[in-house]
């Protein structure tokens, strides 16, 4: 077993790969760590896979996985986690904005200080305001919802115990919330380390404002799923029951009021002319639908199983 697995998802980063791999090998060899470097080419349209192939041919520590098309960072990380075998798994971006010099410190925090995972914190950033301001808002919202006190959830530089990455499934756009996923899986010793942030040397950023919007929606979904994924009937069934009972008793009161008025010889409006009749009817219908939604969710939960939807076309040095 290697000491460290470095998992690096990438998209069109051919220029930075030789420098990045050489830097990682220099740091790990200096510290006498055995290492495997796993590049996951997420459907690049440049020469990234050709560069990875050439590097792997010369260096046995380098491994590669290639997707036929772009599936996103989460799928790339999930594929890398599946084949990682090091005692400590370290993730970083391929654009040289994450410094491999941080590897020894991250490794020590996991192996010596007992953290399940350690997230990097780029305290001093070199990104434009169009990226840093949404990032600060995103991190604030994530802290409030997850109750995990990290400053930089989306930092690509993170370290994990091997068992952590084998216990979580990263899909969709949930790579931003890996600490949240780890906490939900029972790994609560989550630390943070201030790391160096370097200005981008090659290529262009893949960040867009739509990623911030989608990220917030994913956070809301994850918060809901983490609380009710094991018991959807508690949410939908409970809410549906309350709505149905409200509508049911409102209908009884309307009917009782009509009967009382008739028994007293008092003229009363038609039940169908009473707006509360329609409110109670809609409430009962919605309550029934919510209850059925919870029931169906329970059935799906017990019979469904999520599977990866990405296809790997080529691999280098995997499972040798």
Angle at 69 between CA 311 and CA 320, to 5 degrees: 45
**Per-residue pLDDT tens digits of the chain, which is 320 residues long:** 899 999 999 999 999 999 999 999 999 999 999 999 999 999 999 999 999 999 999 999 999 999 999 998 999 999 999 999 999 999 999 999 899 999 999 999 999 999 999 999 988 776 666 666 777 888 888 888 888 989 888 889 999 999 999 999 888 778 888 998 899 888 999 999 999 877 666 666 655 556 666 667 777 777 776 666 667 787 888 889 999 999 999 999 988 888 888 888 777 778 778 888 899 999 999 999 999 988 887 777 666 555 455 667 778 777 66
Q: Yes or no: say if 157 and 197 are a contact pair by the CB < 8 Å rule.
A: no
Helices 209-228, 129-146: crossing angle, 10 deg rounding: 10
Those residues whose C-beta lies under 8 Å from the C-beta of residue 78, and which sit 6 or more positions away, are 169, 170, 171, 308
Q: Yes or no: say if 10 and 48 are a contact pair by the CB < 8 Å rule.
A: yes
Taking Cα atoms as reference points, which of 108, 113, 178 lies closest to residue 150? 178
Look up the CATH number of domain 4-229.
Answer: 3.90.550.10
* Predicted model pTM: 0.73
Domain ranges of the chain: 4-229, 232-302
The pairing of strands 88-91 and 158-161 is antiparallel
Torsions phi, psi for 160 (to 5 deg): -140, 150
What is the SS3 assignment for 286?
A: helix
Adjacent-strand bridge partners of 39: 8, 64
Distance CA 251, CA 64 (A): 66
H/E stretch holding 217 = helix 209-228
H/E stretch holding 192 = strand 190-194
Cβ-count burial 193-205 (b if 16+ within 10 Å, e if not): bebebeeeeebee
Distance CA 35, CA 87 (A): 10
């Amino acid at each position: 077993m290697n000491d460290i697995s470095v998992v690096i998802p990438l998209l069109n980063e051919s220029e930075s790969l030789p420098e990045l791999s050489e830097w990682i090998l220099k740091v790990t060899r200096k510290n006498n760590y055995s290492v495997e470097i796993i590049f996951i080419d997420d459907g690049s349209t440049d020469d990234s896979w050709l560069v990875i192939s050439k590097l792997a041919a010369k260096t046995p520590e380098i491994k590669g996985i290639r997707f036929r098309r772009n599936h996103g960072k989460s799928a790339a990380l999930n594929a890398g986690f599946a084949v990682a075998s090091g005692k400590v798994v370290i993730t970083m971006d391929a654009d040289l904005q994450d410094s491999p010099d941080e590897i020894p410190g991250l490794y020590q925090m996991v192996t010596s200080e007992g953290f399940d995972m350690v997230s990097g914190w780029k305290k001093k950033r070199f990104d434009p305001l169009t990226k840093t301001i949404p990032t600060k808002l995103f991190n604030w919202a994530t802290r409030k919802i997850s109750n995990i006190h990290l400053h930089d959830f989306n930092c690509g530089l993170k370290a994990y115990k091997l068992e952590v990455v084998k216990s979580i499934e990263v899909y969709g756009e949930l790579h931003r919330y890996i600490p949240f996923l780890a906490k939900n899986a029972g790994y609560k010793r989550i630390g943070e380390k201030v790391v160096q942030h370097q200005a981008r040397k090659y290529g262009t950023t893949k960040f867009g404002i739509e990623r911030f919007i989608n990220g917030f929606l994913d956070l809301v979904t994850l918060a809901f799923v983490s609380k009710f994924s094991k018991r959807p009937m508690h949410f939908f069934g409970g809410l549906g029951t309350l709505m149905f009972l409200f509508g049911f008793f409102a209908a009884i009161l309307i009917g009782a009021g009509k009967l009382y008025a008739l028994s007293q010889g008092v003229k009363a409006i038609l039940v169908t002319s009473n707006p509360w009749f329609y409110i109670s009817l809609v409430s009962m219908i919605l309550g029934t639908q919510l209850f059925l939604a919870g029931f169906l969710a329970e059935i799906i939960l017990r019979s469904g199983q999520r599977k990866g939807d990405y296809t790997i076309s080529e691999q280098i040095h995997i499972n040798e």
